[in-house]
Amino acid sequence: MEQQTVVVTGAGSGLGAALVRKYSEKGAHVCLIGRTEDKLQTVAASLVGSWDCFEADISQVAQIRNVIQSILDRRGRIDVLINSAGVIALGAAQELMESSVHEMIDTNLKGTIFTSQAVLPHFKERNQGILVNIISTAGQEGKAGESVYCASKFGVRGFTESLQVELKDTDIRVMAAYMGGMNTEFWDGIFPAEKTARLMDPRDIADLLINNIESRPNLSVTSVTIKNHMGKK
């Protein structure tokens, strides 16, 4: 994994931050993409290896294309792209504000598509690369109070599975990651602290994902599902 270039969106917090820290420990050069420069720099300060930070809104095509081109200009290649950025707004379907609907579709679905589109020509030119879409179990089943969030994630699932078919005759690998709630700031103001404390640790999720992402001869993990086990405390 040393000298690999790993690009992670939503890298300023949560699972995205956990992933860049784990990859950095393994010797990869990590490229952090997010909307808030201060958050990216805070995560970068905790890394042990080389890194680059890029402030960008992935729902804006021109911004993400410019960022990907900057990474290619600096590094010459991208080995792994992880689309981890995501937003959520909860509420009954008829009560969701128009702005919340746009934000979830624009970030979760369009942002994943736009970022993938920006990297895929490079992957195809090299006939090599790994693309991972962090989808959530909301992309597998409908959930009360999460109608549009689920819609955006079902969209990412369809996009991911279609990419797998499009690229089946290449050496480009595409993986879908479905996981339940994690103990991150994603749920701040949504879940009470006692519930959030019982959610999965993003560092554990990052370990599991990287283990499944790692290239192995004659083996490809196309999807992985990781669910909360609340158990008895």
Average pLDDT for residues 155-169, to the nearest whole number?
Answer: 98
Question: Which pLDDT score, from 0 to 100, does residue 230 have?
Answer: 57
Which of 98-107, 142-151, 186-195 is least confident? 186-195
Query: What digits encode the pLDDT tens for the residues 59-86?
Result: 999 999 999 999 999 999 999 999 999 9
Question: Which pLDDT score, from 0 to 100, does residue 232 have?
Answer: 47
Buried b (16+ CB within 10 A) or exposed e, 167-197: beeeebbbbbbbbbbbbbebbeeebeeeebe
Query: Quick check: 17 pLDDT over 90?
Result: yes
Average pLDDT for residues 95-116, to the nearest whole number?
Answer: 98
Superfamily of domain 5-216: NAD(P)-binding Rossmann-like Domain (3.40.50.720)
Average pLDDT for residues 87-102, to the nearest whole number?
Answer: 95
Question: Which pLDDT score, from 0 to 100, does residue 219 have?
Answer: 82
Average pLDDT for residues 167-196, to the nearest whole number?
Answer: 77
Q: What percent of the chain has pLDDT over 70?
A: 89
Alpha helices for the chain (secondary structure H): 14-25, 37-44, 61-75, 98-104, 111-126, 147-166, 193-196, 202-213
Question: Which pLDDT score, from 0 to 100, does residue 187 have?
Answer: 56
Average pLDDT for residues 169-190, to the nearest whole number?
Answer: 79
Average pLDDT for residues 105-110, to the nearest whole number?
Answer: 98
Query: Quick check: 226 pLDDT over 90?
Result: no
Question: Which pLDDT score, from 0 to 100, does residue 202 have?
Answer: 84
Distances (CA, A) of 129 to 21, 77, 79, 95: 20, 9, 5, 41
Q: What percent of the chain has pLDDT over 90?
A: 78
Of 201, 187, 192, 190, the C-alpha closest to 229 is 201
Q: Which of 149, 159, 178, 187 is catalytic?
A: 149
Structure tokens at 36: 């808030």
Say whether 149 is catalytic: yes
Sorted by where each begins, the domain ranges of the chain are 5-216
pLDDT averaged over the chain? 91
Average pLDDT for residues 26-47, to the nearest whole number?
Answer: 96
Question: Which pLDDT score, from 0 to 100, does residue 182 have?
Answer: 59
Question: Which pLDDT score, from 0 to 100, does residue 201 have?
Answer: 83
Question: Which pLDDT score, from 0 to 100, does residue 228 have?
Answer: 77
